[in-house]
Amino acid sequence: MLTDTQIRNTKPEAKIIKLTDSHGLYLEVTPSGSKHWRFRFRLDGKESLFSIGEYPHVKAAEARRLRDEARLLVKIGVNPTHKHKQDKTAKQYERAATFEAVAAEWYEASKIKPSAKTGRIWSTGYAGHVGTLLPNDINPHIGKLPIKDIKTPAIYNLLRKIEARQAPTRALLARQIVGSVFKLAIKTSRAEYNVVDPLKGDIARCVVEHRKHLKGDDLPGFLRKLEDYTGHMTTSIALKLLLLTAVRPGELCEAAWAEFNFDQAEWWIPVVRMKMGKQHIVPLSPQALVLLYQLRELTGHEKYLFPAQGTKSQIMPTATLRNAVAKLGFSDRFSPHGARGTFSTMCNEAGFRPDVIERQLAHAEQNKVRASYNQAEYMPERRKMMDQWGHTLDALKAGANIIPFVRAA
């Protein structure tokens, strides 16, 4: 058998040298000076070679141990080369089976795939929300762990930490995300069961009125205070447009200039940004157009209507709108999302058709027959409604006693 001294003293030659050890094991010395252990074996009548490793990383004794393992495999009809490749692939797969890796796979697939329940794809806002929750709240705690090794107590502790920040809604979403990631892991044989199941119903949803809308008596005062807003002009314009268009705050903050057709006085919000997964056309009143022309002087050179202050790569967060409402002294009576409730209430009171109002709010139609009608069929009525809504807000701001908001014939 070969000794380490013999191996070290063997010098490379012009041709490959083969130093025989025992039971099919030999050391191959190449002209470049590298030395590799090989095991020659015969399986199913064919001679094959199994690469054991390179000397001196693999010493003679270790090479013989690995050879003996390979011989046992051959005896039971297993090719050691094939077994080695399978083991290597399994280890690579296991490294790719951390929670963080599976979560990234789930996230990329889910944000472009229609929901099995609703048929809708994620809005840009929701995708961004999930995309920040994973790296900020979940991955720092369990991201580097093999997903098959994660147990329920680890998720329980993670959710408790989020709840401790007075963020129960975020904790609920975190639980849903972790559960969805585990479902993918189970489907792909990287986990055996969903560790989130025992935690369902464990988080108490915070009872908060998130969508407080202005009542008729409060609206004139809010409009006048907004006119005197001392904050950034783009924030003031954003709040005014929120009232004039009745869109969701996220849809407004993410608005891009390319979505607006000033000649047709329309705003086309693409599918990817809509909660209901359908393109939405917003007719623009004269008041909305005036604000957009003003805003274009400020941010028209940017991609977005409302870029975040100090950067060109991010949009204004919806929290900016909530902070502005608080600065105006109306946070106890109004939230930005509540602008839609104010619009809906007053339009219904004015006698506009519910179908027209719901279409303007981009609500999903539950009646499949009625849902088959194209939204453009309501556009004339919606345009008249939005024009009158704009005139009504002007009149209320000016202190009119009689509200000129009646349904057009």
Residues recognised as catalytic: 248, 275, 337, 340, 363, 373
**Taking a C-beta distance cutoff of 8 angstroms, is the pair 311, 219 a contact?**
no
What letter represents residue 179's amino acid? G
Place of tokens 């009625």: 370
- Across 235-256, b (16+ Cβ under 10 Å) vs e yields bbbbbbbbbbbbbbbbbbbbbe
**Taking a C-beta distance cutoff of 8 angstroms, is the pair 372, 288 a contact?**
no
Q: Which SS3 state, helix, strand or coil, does residue 304 take?
A: strand
Beta bridge partners of 315: 307
Alpha carbons 211 and 206: distance in angstroms, whole number = 14
Strands 35-43 and 25-29: antiparallel
Measured in whole angstroms, the distance separating CA 195 from the mean position of its chain's CA atoms is 22
Q: Does residue 168 have a cis peptide bond before it, meaning omega lies within 30 degrees of 0?
A: no
Q: In this structure, what are the phi and psi dihedrals at residue 280, rounded to the nearest 5 degrees?
A: -130, 130
Alpha carbons 265 and 388: distance in angstroms, whole number = 15
Measured in whole angstroms, the distance separating CA 402 from the mean position of its chain's CA atoms is 47
**Taking a C-beta distance cutoff of 8 angstroms, is the pair 40, 68 a contact?**
no
Count how many Cα atoms sit within 13 Å of the Cα of residue 153 in the half-sphere of its side chain: 1
Measured in whole angstroms, the distance separating CA 328 from the mean position of its chain's CA atoms is 33
